[in-house]
Structure formats: C-alpha cells, structure tokens
C-alpha cells in the first residue's frame, strides 16, 4: 500500500519540471523523482468494463498507483505504454491516480547521460483513460506487402482481448477512401479464446490505388468492427497510405517508382517555454513549418517522438527516419540490452502503421563514450546491432534499418550515414562533393544525416571564412575529440553570414547530383544541451534554422529558396544585418534568396538590374549583386518576377559607414514597449564617440534589480539573461510591475554596469 503526502502544485499535462532549470546558470538540472496526482470519478455502470490508462510518454521511468496500490509502470521515456487499472478502481467513487516519474541518472536506460541533449523529467506527453468492453481490440498492425500503380495488397493483424465466456464473433474489416467511401471489405467469423488473441486477415486487392507521397499524402482509413449477435461491441480504426520505395545501391532513393531527392532536417522535442512538454498544436506547427520550408523528409532525433508528430507527417507529407534512443554510451550488460531491445520493439509496434515512416534507426553514435567497461568493443557492438536489425526485420520486413556514425554497424543495417561535417567540425565546405562522392563508393546505401554548424542570430561579418577555408584536412569524418581539432567550429565566428554560405554551397551541390539519395540538415530548431555551457547562448545548441522560439534565422530562407515553389518570396540577406562597414565606393555583395524566376535589386531608388535564378550558380543561385552603398541610410528592395509579373517583394534599411568603431567604452541601454505589455531592453556596446562596436562579441549579463522580472531561461536571443553580443548588441525582455520603478542592469568584466529605469 503506497501513501504519499506533499504540497501539490496544480499543473496541466504535458508537463516537465525541467522547463527552466536546464537553462539557468547553475550547472546541471534536476534529475530525480516527481509525483503527479489526480482524482477521477468512475461511475457505476450496468456492464463490466475495462479501464486502461494510456501514457504517451513519461520520462524516463515510471510507476503508477491507483488508490494506493501499484497498478503498473514503465522503463523508457520516449514510447507510450498502457496500465490496466481495472482491478484497482472503485466504481461510483473518486479514484486517486498517482504517478511516480523519475529521470534520475540510470546507465541501464537509453539514451546515455552523455548524449548532447537534456533528458527532461515528468509526464511529458498526453495521458488518456480508455474505457473498453470486456472483449475489445488491443491493437491493429497493418502491412502493405505489395503496392504498385495498378494494385495494392493489405494484410491486417488484430490483437483482441476476450474476458467473456463468449467465443464466437464476427470481424468486419473495411477500407475507406479519403472521402469515407468504402473501397474493399472483408467479413470473417472467428472463435476467440479467453485472454489474448492474435488474428491475421488479408483484405481484397485494391485496384488503381491512390498512392501516398510527400506531394500527395493520400490516406485511406481501415476500420475493424468486432460484432456479436449482430451488434458492434468494439471498433478500431487506423489511417494508412499505399507507397513503395527503394534505396538503390550506390544510387538514389526511389518512391513509387520515381527518383525522389530526400530533402530533410532533424527535430528535437524541445521548445522555448515548454521544454519537451509540448502540446499537440505546437508539435503540429513544427511539422507545418518544416513542410513549408520545402522539406520532404525528417529524422526524429534521437528518440521516438509524440504521436501527433507522426500523424502530422502522414497528413502533410514528410518521410520519417524514426530512431531508437540508443544514443552514445556503447553497449551494456544484460539488463541494459533487455531495456534497449524492448524500447526499440515498442517504438516499432506503436508507430507501425504510419506510411510516412521509411527507416527504423537502431541508434545514433552508439559506440561513443561507453558507460560500461568494454562497452566500446567493436565485436560486442556489432553483435548487438545485429540483434536490433534482426528484431526490426522480424517485426517489419518491409522497411529499411539505418544508423548514423556507428562504424561497427555499417555493414549490418540496410542504410548507413557516416559523419560528414565538411566546413564545421572538419574539412572545408567546398570539399563536400568530393567527400560525399567517396562515401557513395564506400557504403552500399548512403544517406547523409547531419551537416551544418552553429549560428548566433544577428551576428554577421563582412569577411566570413570562405569555402576554401583555413583548414587543409580532408575526408570529412568528424573526430571524436573536437578539442584537438583545428575546425571552424572552434576558430570560426559563429556568424549567420558563414552558415548561410555553407548551406548555400551544400544545396548548390546536392540539388545537382543525379545519384544522391538525400540528406538532412542538423537541426531545424535550436535546443537545450547540458554539454555546451560556453556557447553564445549558454546550454543551447545553436545549429537550428530557427531559434528556440521558432523565429527563422537567415539560413531558413536559404533552404526555402531551393526547395519551395509556392508561395513566391524574396529575402534579402540579412534583415538583422543593419550595420555595415567598408571603404567609400567599395563594392559590397548583396544576396537575395528567392524562389522566383527572376529578381531585381533596387538600392536607394536605383536599379541594379534583374538576374535570373539558376541553381547551377553560387552564391544564392546567381541572385547576387555587387553594390556601392552611400554613407548613412540605404534602402534596399528586392522585387521577384515570374516572367513579367511581380510576385514577391522584400525591403530593408541598412546604415553604412566608412569609419571603423573605436575600442568599446561603455554599454548603453534602450527600451521599447512591446505589444504584450513587456519591455524589450537592448544593450549596445559603443566607443567613446557613441558609435556601436559591431566587432564586440563578449558575453554580457542582464539582471532585474527591482520592479519586475526578466523573461529568461528560454534559450532564445531575447530570452537569455546571459548571452554573447551579436555585432555589439544584446537583448532581453522585461516584465514590468505597474506603478513600481523597474531597474534593469547589464554588465560584464569589461564594464562596471549600466542601468535603465522603467516607470509607467
């Protein structure tokens, strides 16, 4: 009998207790136990029912108690599980549900604690109470073993729990099209044993099926009805898509018989203000943003994600790499292996029916940094990789297995991704084509997961490291010990200017390779990591195309310019690069990223001419002009055309100077009232003449001394009280208490501090 007393905080699910402490300036974050409690009323009913709690995810271990009695639990934080609470409930009364969630350090549960992301604690996804008849469906697995443009075969495996004395039932299966019209149907008489039953049924062939693809994500619905005495006593339904695909050896990817270049990115479950406890509406918004960028592929890093993500990928059209949480840590002993295999199996079975999924990943960087003695032994690693591969093939013979940066498994899985970070952790980005071509010859089926680099929003440079770089390393493989590596990750300025050039070059290459299967940029959104306290935004991996609040950086528009046709847009590089410096009459490069056929650049009312977009040209697909700025204010306009029709427009203003700033002399603060009622406080480093020091990049510290609080611990450019300046500028949001004097301070080791007063 379990009893627990405490002072409770009222919360909504999903929930994590690590929403802010993963980002505060105290090293580490809370790793331990949290309790959740809720009373639910179970009414008296005339028919016996089963009561099953379904948890979409509890990080990272859990125990579930009902009225003080342990009803179940789970090990593994990124997969769903059921707890049958029927024996423990009181009908006609309130029932106390208590959940113990535990994200304590545990080397026996993947992912490894050495992984480069936060392992949040809590009930981090939705919870459902399912009320079911005593004979009911437990699940439905759908296979499409043969699909072509002419026909599609469907096989369904039903799991049924029977707790009645009744044996004879009828099962009705029907497939409906997207409009709800029945396409094929099957009726079967079945004798059910008491307890668990598994039934395999093949449906009639569908002729001329509507095929699922990223450009046309057509979904059918399969409904199963359990019938007794001509009455439907339970039903279950799933949506499916018909498609076939192939990674050809040393060649490209083919979907429904046609080559498709996989254009992808990655996603962590991590969002400013939420941690990983993200509501479904915002899960879906992520997929909508990724789709609107033009992507057709997503790798879910580095664990299975919320059910809403898979639903959105099915509906919107994104092909999915789904990943077992075996991230780093090497191979472990028996208990570790049992947990890791079970979690992998649960991932496959719960996500089985989604047509968007094409790859089951056994893990990522799995041989790095072993948690157990001998955990990096290549033979042991390969043997366990084979176990996972064989398990995946047994459960699902129709999908490929994959892994990334795990040499011991490169000949085990169907598809392999080496670690290629040309231009960041090694090599230079202009060597990318040579490196990826070598990889094609080395690996039977190649997909390139992870490339890119960090960028600090708003940081720009007139002279970014070019594609020839300062590095003579070749080969592209990322060394394990980055500290010893003379890489751009270590010596670069982390400017948006450089990362835009890198992505522009990569896409310029991959969009023109006729043999390439595809790649996925790392990563769509900045995310929290306990391993990076010294980053410009401490504890944030800043490789995202958008910041942690989903605000696009410049790089987002680079991808959009290559990958989308509609809607038409122009984006001048860059809207956060408003202060530029150079010589008088010096030609300065202005790039426009656009999906229009032709773009005209106008500076201060003078046209610099129209240029045609050409993906064979670099930079910016040829939409690049050399411009003479006038000292002071310059208005830049970009006009996009399709033939002669104006279809897109963008503009910005920059201030151009020929005078370099002097040494930083002080920090000044300015305030701006926002629509939400808060104040945006901007700090500028200036020289003794008040000129902004655009080369000042040191870390500054904001503090609210009175009259309100900073909106911080968000890991965003304006939601971090400790942050490096970007071109001599840093921001923080301040929530003011009305009628009180608000005082905000900024300081660092170079300056004694500056204060600004806010009074309504």
From CA 211, how far away is CA 148, in angstroms rounded?
A: 8
Q: Specify whether the CB–CB gap between 321 and 302 falls below 8 A.
A: no
Secondary structure, 3-state, 46-108: CCCEEEEEEECCCECEEEEEECCEEEEEEECCCCCEEEECHHHCCCCEEEEEEEEEECCCCCC
The answer to whether residue 365 is catalytic is yes
Element holding 341 (H helix, E strand): helix 334-351
Which among 56, 63, 365, 496 is annotated as catalytic? 365
* Length of the chain (residues): 760
Handedness of CA 208, 213, 218, 221 (dihedral sign): positive
- Of 305, 356, 301, the residue nearest 327 (C-alpha): 301
From CA 12, how far away is CA 370, in angstroms rounded?
A: 37
Q: 441: helix, coil or strand?
A: helix
Which residues lie below 8 Å from residue 473, measured CB to CB, with a gap of 6+? 426, 427, 486
Does residue 619 have a cis peptide bond before it, meaning omega lies within 30 degrees of 0?
yes
Q: Specify whether the CB–CB gap between 586 and 628 falls below 8 A.
A: yes
From CA 275, how far away is CA 548, in angstroms rounded?
A: 10
Cβ atoms within 10 A of the Cβ of 645, count?
A: 10
DSSP 453: -
Residue 292 vs residues 544, 595, 638: alpha-carbon distances, Å: 16, 13, 21
Measured over all CA atoms, what is the biggest interatomic distance in the chain, rounded to whole angstroms?
92
- Of 522, 511, 531, 529, the residue nearest 455 (C-alpha): 522
From CA 674, how far away is CA 706, in angstroms rounded?
A: 19
From CA 147, how far away is CA 220, in angstroms rounded?
A: 14
Q: Specify whether the CB–CB gap between 716 and 726 falls below 8 A.
A: no
| Sheet containing 606-612, strands listed edge to edge, beginning at the edge strand earlier in sequence | 579-581, 645-657, 632-642, 598-603, 606-612
Cβ atoms within 10 A of the Cβ of 143, count?
A: 18
From CA 356, how far away is CA 309, in angstroms rounded?
A: 10
Handedness of CA 381, 386, 389, 392 (dihedral sign): negative
- The pair of structure tokens assigned to 736 is 């003011």
Active site residues: 365
């Amino acid at each position: 009998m379990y009893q627990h007393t405490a002072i409770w905080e009222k919360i909504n699910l999903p929930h994590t207790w690590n929403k802010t402490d993963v980002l505060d300036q105290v090293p580490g974050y809370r790793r331990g136990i949290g309790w959740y409690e809720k009373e639910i009323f179970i009414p008296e009913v005339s028919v016996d029912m089963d009561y099953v709690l379904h948890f979409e995810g509890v990080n990272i271990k859990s125990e579930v108690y009902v009225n003080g009695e342990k009803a179940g639990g789970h090990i593994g934080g990124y997969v769903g599980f059921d707890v049958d609470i029927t024996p423990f409930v009181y009908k006609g009364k309130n029932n106390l549900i208590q959940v113990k969630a535990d994200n304590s350090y545990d080397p026996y549960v993947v992912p490894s604690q050495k992984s480069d992301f936060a392992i949040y604690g809590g009930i981090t996804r939705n919870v459902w109470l399912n009320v079911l008849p005593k004979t009911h469906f437990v699940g439905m697995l759908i296979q499409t073993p043969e699909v072509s443009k002419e026909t599609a075969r469907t096989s369904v495996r039903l799991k049924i729990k029977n707790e009645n004395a009744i044996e004879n039932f009828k099962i009705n299966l029907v497939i409906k099209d997207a409009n709800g019209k029945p396409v094929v149907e099957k009726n079967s008489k079945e004798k059910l044993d008491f307890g668990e039953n598994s039934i395999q049924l093949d449906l009639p062939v569908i002729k001329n099926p509507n095929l699922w693809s990223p450009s046309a994500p057509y979904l059918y619905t399969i409904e199963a009805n359990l019938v007794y005495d001509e009455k439907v006593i339970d039903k279950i339904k799933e949506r499916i898509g018909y498609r076939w695909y192939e990674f050809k050896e040393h060649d490209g990817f083919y979907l429904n018989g046609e080559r498709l270049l996989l254009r992808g990115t990655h996603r962590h479950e991590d969002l400013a203000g939420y941690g990983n406890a993200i509501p479904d509406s915002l899960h879906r918004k992520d997929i909508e943003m990724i789709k609107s960028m033009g992507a057709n592929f997503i790798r879910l890093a580095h664990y299975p994600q919320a059910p809403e993500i898979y639903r959105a990928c099915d509906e919107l059209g994104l092909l999915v790499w789904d990943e077992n949480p075996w991230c780093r840590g090497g191979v472990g002993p028996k208990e570790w292996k049992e947990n890791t295999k079970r979690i992998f199996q649960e991932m496959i079975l719960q996500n089985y029916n989604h047509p968007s999924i094409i790859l089951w990943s056994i893990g990522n960087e799995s041989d790095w940094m072993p948690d157990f003695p001998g955990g990096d032994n290549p033979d042991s690693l390969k043997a366990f990789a084979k176990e996972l591969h064989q398990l995946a093939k047994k459960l699902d013979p129709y999908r490929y297995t994959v892994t990334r940066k795990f040499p011991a498994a490169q000949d085990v899985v169907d598809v392999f991704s080496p670690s290629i970070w040309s231009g960041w952790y090694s090599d230079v980005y202009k060597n990318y084509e040579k490196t990826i071509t070598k990889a094609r010859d080395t690996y039977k089926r190649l997909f390139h997961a992870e490339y890119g680099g960090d960028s600090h929003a708003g940081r720009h440079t007139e002279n970014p490291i070019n594609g020839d770089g300062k590095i003579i390393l070749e080969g592209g493989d990322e060394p394990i010990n980055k500290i010893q590596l003379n890489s751009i990750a270590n010596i670069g300025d982390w400017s948006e200017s450089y990362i835009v050039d890198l992505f522009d070059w990569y896409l310029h290459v991959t969009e023109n390779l006729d043999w390439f299967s595809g790649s996925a940029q790392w990563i769509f959104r900045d995310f929290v990591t306990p391993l990076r306290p010294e980053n410009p935004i401490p504890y944030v991996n800043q490789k995202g195309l958008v910041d942690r609040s989903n605000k696009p950086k410049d790089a987002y528009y680079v991808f959009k310019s290559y990958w989308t046709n509609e809607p038409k847009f122009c984006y001048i590089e860059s809207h956060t690069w408003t202060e530029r410096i150079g010589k008088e009459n010096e030609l300065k490069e202005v790039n426009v990223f656009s999906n229009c056929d032709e773009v005209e650049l106008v500076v201060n009312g003078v046209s610099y001419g129209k240029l045609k977009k050409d993906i064979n040209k670099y930079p910016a697909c040829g939409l690049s002009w050399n411009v003479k700025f006038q000292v002071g204010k310059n208005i830049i306009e970009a006009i996009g055309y399709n033939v002669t029709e104006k279809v897109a427009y963008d503009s910005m203003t920059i201030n151009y100077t020929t005078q370099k700033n002097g040494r930083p002399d002080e920090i000044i603060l300015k305030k701006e009232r926002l629509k939400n009622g808060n104040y945006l406080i901007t700090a500028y480093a200036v020289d003794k003449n008040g000129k902004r020091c655009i080369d000042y990049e040191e870390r500054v510290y904001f503090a609210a001394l009175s009259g309100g609080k900073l909106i911080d611990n968000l890991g965003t450019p304006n939601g971090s009280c400790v942050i490096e300046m970007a071109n001599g500028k840093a921001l923080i949001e301040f929530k003011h208490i009305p009628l009180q004097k608000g005082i905000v301070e900024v300081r660092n080791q170079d300056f004694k501090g500056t204060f600004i007063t806010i009074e309504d």
